[in-house]
Amino acid sequence: MNDSTHNFVPPVPKGNPREKVQINDGTHYFDPHHKKDPKGVIDKLHILDRIVDRNESMLMSSGAPMTLWKYFPYGPECGCKGDDRRCALCFGSGYLNGYQKYGYITYTYGSQSVGRIDKYGLNLTNIVDVPIPYMDAQAFELASGTTGYLETNWIPISNVLEHTWVKSKIFTPEGSSVTYSFTTDGVNYTAVYNLQDPLDVPEGETQIKIRVTLSRESSDEQSPAVNLFKYRTRIFRTFEEKYKSYHSDALYDKRPVIGVPAFLASKQVVNRQLAMTQEGRTVTYPPQFWALPDVKISERDIGVFLRGNHKDERFEFQELTISEHGDDSRVLHTKWQSRFIFATDDVLGNLYNLD
């Protein structure tokens, strides 16, 4: 039996050297010159885009939503200078804003913020900062009289989706109070009554100031005190908003709602690592994970799974490997090893207090 499809030798193309030669049913092509231009083939067939699509499909079936605390060494420096990994102000980063929650921007204001001229700066009116007994930190108190306030510099809010909350660490003796308000024009102030609810900021505003007011009934009474306060805004869509925008609701109708910015991550096959020590050979199986390039991960970031077998567990990202291809360094995915953070006996256990 003679089968013309066996041992087929395609003819040499004539004319244009890039001309494709049709074989069989029109679904397969042969290009004798494709090995000379692999980048052209990758670009024409959108290979990298298809790899990202495939990775996304894999995550949709096997991944779990994850958020992170991104290491952010900018803004006012902490008094510990990053030497104390258990510092309750900076969590060992050395900066008051040292860790930023994924999808949010958090501005932290303390004594180190006073006098700065940028968005991390803080101004005092009838307020002084005093040492906190038995702590390497400062607190704000009334200098005199019955009222004084702290107010931030202008904070940009053009790309903010939600003003999530204002929080503070305060001490309010009997007969004193600490209240909050904000302004978008520098003249009119809106009171914030419930610090757990998002601020009702009118749409279209481009800047905001947060004011914290300290009051007491009499100048003879003890002053309230504020150690620091935080203002947080959301800049990314929530997990459901992000994925339901281009995937069927059927994928999520049986899953609990996340309601916060998050991305999908998945565990890889754990590779065995061997190390020789004086005690002999040690075998370890460090956890390894990967995610799509829509999230920027770096060393010292802290990851938190929101669902799945590792729910609420925290990991410190280590040994990142970024898969890049092409002249423009197209990132296809990022993988990393993780160090599990124990809440009690780990030196990084204080990171469980991040909120």
Helix (H) or strand (E) run with residue 125 in it: strand 122-125
Same domain (yes/no): 118, 224: yes
Q: Pick from 234, 252, 283: which residue ends a domain?
A: 234
Q: What is the pLDDT of residue 187?
A: 95
Q: Pick from 234, 258, 291: which residue ends a domain?
A: 234
Integer Rg of the chain from CA: 28
Across the strands, what pairs with 107?
A: 231
Contact 80, 94 (CB under 8 A): yes
Q: What is the DSSP string of 189-222?
A: -EEE--TTSPP-PPTT--EEEEEEEEEES-TTSP
Same domain (yes/no): 116, 219: yes
Task: Please report whether residue 78 resides in a domain.
Answer: no
Same domain (yes/no): 221, 254: no
Q: Which of 212, 211, 224, 209 shows the shortest CA–CA distance to 177?
A: 224
Q: What is the pLDDT of residue 180?
A: 96
Task: Please report whether residue 341 resides in a domain.
Answer: yes
* Count of domains for the chain: 3
- How far is Cα 141 from Cα 210, in angstroms, rounded to an integer? 17
Residues of the chain with pLDDT under 50: 1, 4-6, 12, 15-25
Give the three-state DSSP class for 275. Answer: strand
Task: Please report whether residue 74 resides in a domain.
Answer: no
Task: Please report whether residue 128 resides in a domain.
Answer: yes
Quick one: CA torsion of 253, 242, 202, 100, rounded to 10 degrees? 120
- Amino acid identity of residue 354, one-letter, is L
- Amino acid identity of residue 232, one-letter, is R
Task: Please report whether residue 90 resides in a domain.
Answer: no
Give the three-state DSSP class for 151. Answer: strand
- How far is Cα 148 from Cα 142, in angstroms, rounded to an integer? 6
Q: What is the pLDDT of residue 191?
A: 95
Task: Please report whether residue 222 resides in a domain.
Answer: yes
Contact 124, 249 (CB under 8 A): no
| Tokens encoding 31 | 């290009």
Same domain (yes/no): 119, 223: yes
Task: Please report whether residue 338 resides in a domain.
Answer: yes
Domain around 336:
57-66+243-353
**Does pTM surpass 0.95?**
no
| Tokens encoding 60 | 């949709």
Q: Kindly report the CATH number assigned to the domain that includes residue 140.
A: 2.60.120.260
Contact 118, 112 (CB under 8 A): no
Same domain (yes/no): 121, 201: yes
Kindly provide the b/e burial profile for residues 321-339, where b requires at least 16 CB atoms within 10 angstroms of the residue's own CB: eeeeeeeeeebbbbbbbbb
